[in-house]
Chains A and B, each alone.
Chain A
């Protein structure tokens, strides 16, 4: 009964184009009223949902990522990866993937990674004879690494929603991130060999690499400061994000002297509306989730699933397909806040570790970035590469297949996520 009110109201509101937060909030409010409960509880939930120290990592990571763009750190990181293009077939595209990995280690956002890396690498690839559509597709596909490789904004949101350790998630994401990157690099090698994207070794020199690395030293230190601080237990994720903001300001103003007041204001502005719209979903999703748990709706879903099949592998497959489909149509952070309260209890009742589930969930969202109709990375890559979204999404299919295969690997082999955190002693 209560579940039909919740999901019914939510579904109708979503279809008529209400903001996701309103669909969740109004559904929860209607459900509270239908069981004769005082709606004042929702005021309490609203306050508690954001009155938390870990949640503050969200605006802090968004702000530090935005500032890095204007401070010259982003550009130098990409430049380092670019000079590393070796003699392999498709070397420059490999550099693009590596640049996305570097970038993923300072930023927690997929579209931001695509924008920053694509801005430099797509023109560079085109210049060396890569097909425009292919160059854009590689960038759009590897841009999603930004959210799998820590730090990651979606992981912060998952950690908060699921009350799991964000630090542990940040450790767990490392190996899956490397797995995806290696997969894309391998696929790129095969395609480049076939298409004859030969490297031009003429302009590669060790000295050039050295010069770029020296120029980018302070940029390379950014991930060391952020991740080193978190992994050593010296900083909490929130503190690390705050420190990285001031590190970026320091480097941008005093060392590279590129940071303008205008970009600082712009960063503050985009951080405000981005955080504002996410945090209010956090509130309504918690109200929604509380009702779900109170009325044991996840248990009912688990029972229904188990009546259908007891095979964990099959259930994983169903869940992954479901998540990828949802990710195609819905915004990443909203997806995480919405599916976590429903699916996490189901998965834990099957014996799945919450950290393991969180990483798989984030990886599924990553695929959503490069699949139409709502693939943020596609839009950005298409804008930069000046090719149609259709062409990019077609040429991104081999990479999507690689990424879907990685998701299944990570889901079926829990050690890929859980081994490293155990090693670190979390």
Chain B
């Protein structure tokens, strides 16, 4: 029983891995930039390392965020043309397109590993913090591989397990949430 709980917990953890990492990175660089603004305006003292550090966090955030968006199925596609065909046409074409996406990610992974190998051979360091740049570049093989895993995962969820993926762009389903967020009293009268 305990084992099952550990399993569900770790699956939950893995499923939200990029999302949570991104939230930490985002909070980190936003706070760091704020400290930097305070230092510059109040103490007339610009920090060189903080700018670089926040940029590195941002680059990781950006590509991990892309992987998170892939998990949510949030990457924008042009799909109105599929309305004129039976569902199977759109679905199979999109699966094919996702395979091409995986090819793209794989090539990016291989090429970024080559880049990193070159950087290990001829090391160069970041100007302010003196970090070996190949550590920063590690993000590419990691995030492009993660993205591939997420593409496979969402396709399995959609077509094998027949789960409906929520359309994250469809705010209309979240109107009640936003109302609660903005503390707006419910509208009287007419319902739907």
Binding site for B on A (CB under 8 A): 13-22, 25-26, 29, 39-40, 42-44, 46-47, 50-53, 55-56, 59-60, 63, 69-70, 72, 74-75, 111, 115-116, 119-120, 123, 234-235, 238-239, 242-243, 245-246, 258, 263, 265-266, 268-269, 271-277, 279-281, 329-331, 334, 373-374, 376, 379-380, 382-384, 386
CB distance B172 to A383 under 8 Å? yes
Given known A268-B23, A272-B22, contact A16–B97 (CB-CB < 8 A):
yes
The reply on B152 being an interface residue by CB < 8 A is no
Closest A-chain residue to B141, C-beta based? A43
Contact of B68 among A40, A60, A272, A374 (CB under 8 A): A272
Determine the interface band of chain B, counting residues with CB < 8 A from chain A. Answer: 35 or more
CB distance A276 to B66 under 8 Å? yes
CB distance B101 to A22 under 8 Å? yes
The reply on B53 being an interface residue by CB < 8 A is no
CB distance B78 to A29 under 8 Å? no
Which 10 residue pairs spanning A and B have beta carbons closest together? A276-B65, A383-B172, A18-B97, A19-B75, A280-B66, A279-B62, A277-B69, A272-B22, A276-B66, A276-B69
CB distance B68 to A276 under 8 Å? yes
Least CB distance from A35 to B in Å reads 16
Q: Identify 17 residue pairs between A and B in the complex whose beta-carbon atoms are under 8 Å apart, listed by A's number.
A: A14-B78, A17-B79, A40-B115, A46-B112, A59-B26, A60-B30, A60-B33, A119-B184, A242-B37, A243-B37, A245-B30, A273-B69, A273-B72, A276-B22, A280-B66, A380-B172, A382-B172
Least CB distance from A146 to B in Å reads 14
How far is B181's CA from A75's CA once the two chains are assembled, in angstroms?
10
Contact of A16 among B33, B80, B96, B168 (CB under 8 A): B96
CB distance B55 to A56 under 8 Å? yes
CB distance B172 to A40 under 8 Å? no
CB distance A29 to B107 under 8 Å? yes
Closest A-chain residue to B173, C-beta based? A383
Contact mask for chain B residues 22-38; partner A; CB cutoff 8 A; 1 contact, 0 none? 11001101100110010
How far is B59's CA from A64's CA once the two chains are assembled, in angstroms?
20
Closest B-chain residue to A40, C-beta based? B111
How far is B95's CA from A177's CA once the two chains are assembled, in angstroms?
42
Collect the chain A residues with CB atoms within 8 Å of residue B184's CB: 75, 119-120
CB distance A280 to B62 under 8 Å? yes
CB distance A47 to B137 under 8 Å? yes
CB distance B94 to A16 under 8 Å? yes
Query: Which of B37, B103, B168 has the most A CB atoms < 10 Å from its CB?
Result: B37
Query: Which of A16, A39, A266, A386 has the most B CB atoms < 10 Å from its CB?
Result: A16
- Chain B 53-85 interface residues, beta-carbon cutoff 8 Å to A: 54-55, 58-59, 61-69, 72, 74-82
Contact mask for chain B residues 112-135; partner A; CB cutoff 8 A; 1 contact, 0 none? 101100000000000000000000
How far is B76's CA from A274's CA once the two chains are assembled, in angstroms?
10
Q: Number of A-B pairs whose CB atoms are under 8 Å?
A: 213
How far is B57's CA from A339's CA once the two chains are assembled, in angstroms?
29
CB distance A72 to B115 under 8 Å? no
The reply on B171 being an interface residue by CB < 8 A is yes
CB distance B79 to A63 under 8 Å? no
Closest B-chain residue to A114, C-beta based? B171
- Chain B 176-192 interface residues, beta-carbon cutoff 8 Å to A: 178-179, 181-184, 187, 190, 192
How far is B54's CA from A67's CA once the two chains are assembled, in angstroms?
21
How far is B163's CA from A120's CA once the two chains are assembled, in angstroms?
35
How far is B96's CA from A13's CA once the two chains are assembled, in angstroms?
10
Collect the chain B residues with CB atoms within 8 Å of residue A29's CB: 104, 107
CB distance A13 to B94 under 8 Å? no
CB distance B64 to A276 under 8 Å? yes
Given known A116-B182, A277-B76, A382-B172, contact A13–B65 (CB-CB < 8 A):
no
